[in-house]
Amino acid sequence: MPFKLQRREEHSAWMTLFSPLIAVALMLATGAALFASLGIDPVRGLTVYFLEPLQSAWSLQELVVKATPLILIGIGLSICYRANIWNIGAEGQFVAGALAGSYIPIMMVGWEGPLVFPAMIAAGMAGGALFALIPAALKVRFGANEILTSLLLVYVAQFFLDWLVRGPWRDPEGFNFPESRLFDSDAITPLIFEGGRMHIGFPVAVIIALLAAFYLTRTIHGFQIQVIGESPRAARFAGFSQNKMIFFAFAVSGALAGLAGIMEVAGPIGQLRPTISPGYGFTAIIVAFLGRLNPIGIVIAGFVLALSYLGGEAAQVTLGISDKIARVFQGLLLFYVLACDTFIVYTFRRVGAVREAS
């Protein structure tokens, strides 16, 4: 039976809402098939992966801790992607922010007091933003493709971090392990309650999400993003500058990735190590799309993807399969959400039977 895709007259509000849910359902179905093919009972596999992490207070806290950087980075990326600017390098901006913010507790050891942490946050955001401005400048000045430049800069940041913790920033009392010194108590991201794992990053992320939602839908500058993203020609007609927007979007998303980075190393990690992120900057791309590039949606999507990390660990421990399974689920989800999104703008039509005239 021949089918064809046909453009809808207006965007479907129904599909905008349900496309991510359908995508999650398809991911679960594929996951079940995957478990079955590995000889694992699919029901048990999905239970271990997606439900057990939600059943203890400890892992619920861990969920929030992992969702926080994903949400922060995802919001910044959504601003870029709405403007049709493809920042793929949030992972590098995360590292750059962590490095810039860590300069204070590592190199300015004597400084103590309530200003240390705010200074680290400011340095982290500035570091992430400046690092993100490199691909922005290359795009505006030379027309270099920002997908390539921002992605390649990820490796620059990661190797720079690696060199620092093995070289100049290595803890002198750390038995030669490639780690920085542990941050002092003034340089630690404040916890929400004592003895827990959740830090102030999560409420901060929620506030930023609300601000971003207001900014994108209600302000004229947020409107510019939409116009530039949909048609540079219409943006020119409206008098909106595309180059300014490239700088702005990269700076904002870099600053948010940097913020996530410094709060992560000053929080759950507490020092610099060769690896400080399980790929948050890349996973946040999925978060941004699953959340409809909508800041509120991104908060929800952040939890879904955080769960995929926890589920991967649970699957490794309980089912004895590699935690790389998390990447498989994340990839499936991105694939399905992009496919389902097609139906926001298009609909299936059966091609009418043609009466053959012979």
Which of 4-12, 102-110, 293-301, 315-323 is the region at the interface with another protein (rule: CB under 8 A)?
4-12
**What distance in Å separates the CA atoms of residue 163 and residue 85, rounded to the nearest whole number?**
31
Burial class of residue 143, CB neighbours in 10 A (0-12, 13-18, 19+): exposed
The strand pairing partners of 350, in sequence order, are 3
Token look-up 């490095």 returns 99
Gap between the Cα atoms of 315 and 311, Å rounded:
6
Interface with another protein, residue 226, by CB under 8 A: yes
Q: Which residue number, 225 or 260, has a Cβ lying nearer to another protein?
A: 225
Does residue 238 belong to the site contacting another protein (CB under 8 A)?
yes
- Residue 73's Cβ-side half-sphere holds a number of Cα atoms within 13 Å equal to 37
* Residue 346: strand pairing partners: 7
**Residue 211 in contact with another protein, rule: CB under 8 A:** no
Tell which positions 275-304 bind another protein, by CB under 8 A: none
Q: Is 342 in the site for another protein (CB under 8 A)?
A: no
In the bound state with another protein, the residue whose beta carbon lies nearer, of 231 and 275, is 231
Distance CA 35, CA 47 (A): 11
Looking at beta carbons only, is 21 or 238 nearer to another protein? 238
**Cβ 182 to another protein, closest distance in Å?**
44
Q: For the packed helices 280-290 and 90-107, what is the interaxial angle rounded to 10 degrees? A: 130
Question: Which residue in 63, 227, 304, 315 binds another protein (CB under 8 A)?
Answer: 227
Residues of this chain, 8-47, that bind another protein according to CB under 8 A: 9-11
- Is residue 350 near another protein by the rule CB under 8 A? no
Residue 219 binds to another protein (criterion: CB under 8 A): yes
- For residue 354, the minimal CB distance to another protein (Å) is 5
**Residue 355 found at the interface with another protein (CB under 8 A):** yes
For tokens 């879904």, the residue is 304
* Residues 240-279 contacting another protein, CB under 8 A: 240
Query: 313 exposed, middle or buried (CB, 10 Å; 0-12, 13-18, 19+)?
Result: middle
Q: Which residues contact another protein by CB under 8 A? A: 6, 9-11, 218-221, 223, 226-227, 230-231, 233-234, 236-240, 349, 352, 354-358
